[in-house]
Amino acid sequence: MTEIRYRSDIAVELIDHMGGDRSIVRAARVSSGAAGTPEKDRGLLNMLARDRHGSPFESVVLQFKVECPIFVAREWFRHRVSSFNETSGRYKVLEPEFYVPKFERPLKQIGKPGAYEFEHVPYESWKRVQAHHESAAIRAWESYDRMIKNGVAREVARNVLPLSLYTSFSWTVNLRSAMNFLSLRWAHVNSTVPTFPLYEIQQGAVKVERHAQAVAPIAMEMFNKHGRVTP
């Protein structure tokens, strides 16, 4: 049987982009025809974010490659104002990579729906969780691998694989929609609207924001300045 690999990271790579802060400014100035200096451009970006004039932010487009467990991808795909292309288990034999939560991940859930809190557990408890994840992955992969080798269609064999299996997808999103994603998927200290994201998708959101900041640093600065509310 192929060696199984375990990981706990969410990989986010910026593979392409179009535009930046200047693109947003140009789009916004179309309505007035005014020219600007760097100082005026910065002030304009501040006003656009503060007063939620959002359409100019759509002038920036980002394309990412994301690697994450299936249970994270399914939440990511709920952000429908963007485009996704995912690795297909119908057309290729999947890779034996499975998610196992790291010790730092809070594992104990308390509270009620809509108001859950999560606490860390002792090392021994985490080791039991790790063992359950790994044993489930081994059993599932053995079944999948056996069916593939016996000629069972890939689209049928994949049915036995768990949500912890890693998938990969390309995500094409404009900056305005990326800001919406970040406002919901990162419980940031600057957020003025509370959000309660899945731990793992927040790890991905942190990386998305770093890339967005590199592409449009002033726009992202204003997003944070004005409470991380989507313009």
Which residues are designated catalytic?
185
* In the block, residue with structure tokens 């790790």: 130
Burial degree of 117 (CB within 10 A; 0-12, 13-18, 19+)? exposed
3-state secondary structure of 16: strand
Whole-angstrom distance, CA of residue 56 vs CA of residue 53? 7
CA-wise closest residue to 175 among 62, 21, 78: 62
Whole-angstrom distance, CA of residue 111 vs CA of residue 76? 24
